[in-house]
Structure formats: structure tokens, C-alpha cells
Amino acid sequence: MLTKAPRGTKDWYGLDIIIKRKIEDTFRDLMHYYHVKEMETPVFEHTELFLRGVGETTDVVQKEMYTFMDKGNRSITLKPEGTAGFARSFVENHMYANPQPTKLFYITPAFRYEKPQAGRFRQHHQAGLEIFGSSEPIAEVELISVLRRLFQILGIKNAQLHINSIGCSKCRQEYNKALMTYLKKHEDGLCETCKERMEKNPLRILDCKNPSCRKVIKDAPRTIDYLCEECQQHFEALKQMLDTLNIPYVVDTNIVRGLDYYTKTVFEFIDADGVTICGGGRYDNLINEISGKEVPAVGFGCGLERLMLALTKEGITLAEESVPDIYIGILGAGATAQAYELVTELRHNQIIVETDYLGRSVKAQMKYANKIGAKYTVIIGENEIAENEVQLKNMETGETNKISLNELVNYFKQLN
């Protein structure tokens, strides 16, 4: 149907888009004080980037990507997340040759073919931060600090930090062996998807939301019990910094994140209902996977729709729709040009103005001005122009005052 948006998408208008823009502006302002530069990458990339970076065994790649062949017979995918494109750009634009670290942020649409539900859309929007070049746990602390500050500014209180370490490729080999041994004993309790995952990427089973699988993994081996010395020291250093900074957290060994590029630290902020608001972690192997270069990195992605859902749950209103400071009514065609000249001058002085575009009667114009919440109204006709004077009406009190047309702009500049 041509008059209905595709499932899992929405039209942004009214108060929703005002709140969305408010979140985006807040995030951009925050990035300024953390000295993070903004970057945009294409909405689509070569499919191979996501196969190698995100991981062929992930749900994102196997089930959720919007992939198509372009007219040059190249496989193209709409970006399902922001990090892989940033990693590609970091390498392609030789940013590794610059003084490190490289700190970049984005606000972007992303596309995943998944079941639409509250806070989850097939076209959604992400705000993210990526830090390339640092292997120290302070980089993860920076990510967490940014998100905590963002929540504070927005007024979100019910966002609890959950952290885990999934180790590096070296210690994960030992963990995978232990996990496989355990899972084979409980294979009958796994869903069909997780039975397939056992051979390709058993760690992904820990991320399954199927109730039967959740029951099985409840007693599964924990990644933090198989960390090598380096990964253990990194995780302990992270926890020590969080403790020193009085940042509360929960060690949650079920967090593995849904993308293959993560190593060592993974984290999520989760609301009181158990819904993940945002998440991220370390991905030291991603740059190497797509380019062969060894560059450590960390990052997070935060869904704007999830943030808006969190705001709604906590009853937080970030903004209201604007209303006109004044409605300029027009009486007679002969006054239209002069009235619109005044409308333009007021707008040039940062005053919100509305006027008549439909040739309504004065009565209809006043009714319209009332409906849109105009604070003041005036009617301008040929007599008002000749006398250089109008009746300014306060729509809340009903009071009227005579005022010179020449003084109208200054009057509203003083009000604002």
C-alpha cells in the first residue's frame, strides 16, 4: 500500500522529532567537551565489511541485514551498526598515521530486519563513540563516563551498568572448549539455532533469549573464570577504576554482546525492566580483521529510540512543541504585502511568527491563532497601515494595547 510506511519504520514529526533532536543536540554538545570529532560514513557499505567485521555467525549477518546487488553486480548492505564503517574509514583514510588516540562519534540511521517492538525498529537511529589506538582500560572508562553523563543530563535514573570480560582470542579458545563440553551435555535443551551455533560460535549461545536456552546457560562456565593473565589484569584494572570513581556496576557473566568483533570488556546499561538501553566494549581485533593492522579500539552504540523509551518509562519530558510568539492577521488583499514584510522582519529578529496563507476571514484567523497557541495577535489591514498602529491582544489574558507598527519588533525583542 502506497499510503502506509514499511513495517518497522516510523515517520518522525511533532513532539517525537523535537525530543529526538534534543537528544542528538545533547550528545553533540557532550562530545565537544570530551574533545571527540564527528564523522559520517555511508548509509551502505560493501557486504564483505560486515561479514568480516561483524561476524558471519551473528544474528545480524545471518538474519537481519538488508543486502542487495547493485547495478554493478556488487553486494551492498545497508549499515546494521556504526562501528564497522568507522573501522573501514579509519584504515582507508590513514587515520592510524595521526597522533593517537583517534576519538570519533556518529549519529546515524541503521537498518536491521528484526521483529519490531517497543524501542526497536527496522530503521532505527544510533549515537555512538569509537576510540582507536588505546589498549588501556581508561578508554572503556571514558565510554562509560560519557554514557553516565548523558543519562544525567537527560534525567534518566534507572540505567544500571553491567560489565563482563569475554577475554581475547587466546584465552577464549580454552573457554570455548569448556563451554562446548558443558553444552554437549545439555544439547537437548537448546533451540535449533543454538544447536547450529555450537559448532560455529558457541559463545553466541550465551546471548540467546530463548527461555529453554536461558535455563541451560544459567550454570554454564563463565568467561571470567578462563581469562589469561593479561585479560584478567585488564578486567581488574577496569573494576578498580570504576570503584575509585564511584561508578556502580554489576559483573554480569551473561553479557557477550551480539557482534563477533568484541574482545575483553563488554558492557551494557540496562533499565529496571531488563531492557538494554545501550552497550559497547573493546574490539582490539576488528582493525586487524579488515586490514591486517594492529590497532586496539573501544566503542559503544546507543539507540535513540531506546533512549526515548527510557525517558517515557521514567516520565521525563525533554521538550514541548513551540508556539508562535505572535500571529499576524491580515485584513484585505491590499494589506498582504506590508503584513508579510512585518512577519519577515519579526522572524529575522528570532521571533516565532505565524500568519494567514489561506485568505481566511478575521474570525477564522483568530480561531486558528487560538488553536495553534499563539501568545499574541494583531490584525493588519489598510487602515492599520495608514495609521501605523495596531491592537495587540494578549491571548491568555484577553487584554489589548495599541502599539505602533514601528515599535512591534522592539516590543517582542524585549519580551524574549
Domain ranges of the chain: 14-168+228-313, 326-415
pLDDT reported for residue 213: 86
Which amino acid, one-letter code, is at 264?
K
Taking the C-alpha atoms of residue 119 and residue 137, their distance in angstroms, rounded to an integer, is: 30
Task: Report pLDDT for 24.
Answer: 97
For 262, the 3-state DSSP assignment is coil
Q: Is residue 57 pLDDT above 70, yes or no?
A: no
Among 232-241, 269-278, 284-293, 351-360, whose mean pLDDT is lowest? 284-293
3-state helix vs strand vs coil in the chain, percent to 5 = 45, 20, 35
259 pLDDT above the threshold of 70: no
Query: Residue 127: what pLDDT?
Result: 97
* pLDDT at position 49 over 60: yes
Please give the average per-residue pLDDT across 11-26, as a whole number.
95
Is 247 in contact with 148 (CB distance < 8 Å)? yes
124 or 54: which leads in pLDDT: 124
Give yes or no for a contact between 193 and 205, defined as CB atoms under 8 angstroms apart: no
Predicted confidence (pLDDT) at residue 54 exceeds the cutoff of 90: no
The mean pLDDT of 355-382, rounded to a whole number, is 97
Q: Residue 53: pLDDT above 70?
A: no
Average pLDDT for residues 157-177, to the nearest whole number?
A: 91
Confidence of residue 55 (pLDDT cuts 50, 70, 90): low
| Res. 148: pLDDT tops 80 | yes
Q: Model confidence at 43, in pLDDT bands (50, 70, 90)?
A: very high
For residues 300 and 119, the model is more confident at 300
The CATH architecture assigned to 14-168+228-313 reads: 2-Layer Sandwich (3.30)
Q: How far apart are CA 311 and CA 413, in angstroms?
A: 34
The H or E element spanning position 266 is strand 263-270
Q: Tell me, which fold does domain 326-415 have in CATH?
A: Rossmann fold (3.40.50)
CA distance 274 to 214: 14
Q: Which residues contact 346 (CB under 8 A, 6 or more apart)?
A: 325, 326, 328, 353, 408, 409, 412
**DSSP-based three-state secondary structure for 376:** strand
- Angle among Cα 267, 252, 227 to the nearest 5 degrees reads 85
- Written as nine digits, the cell of 80 is 546494521
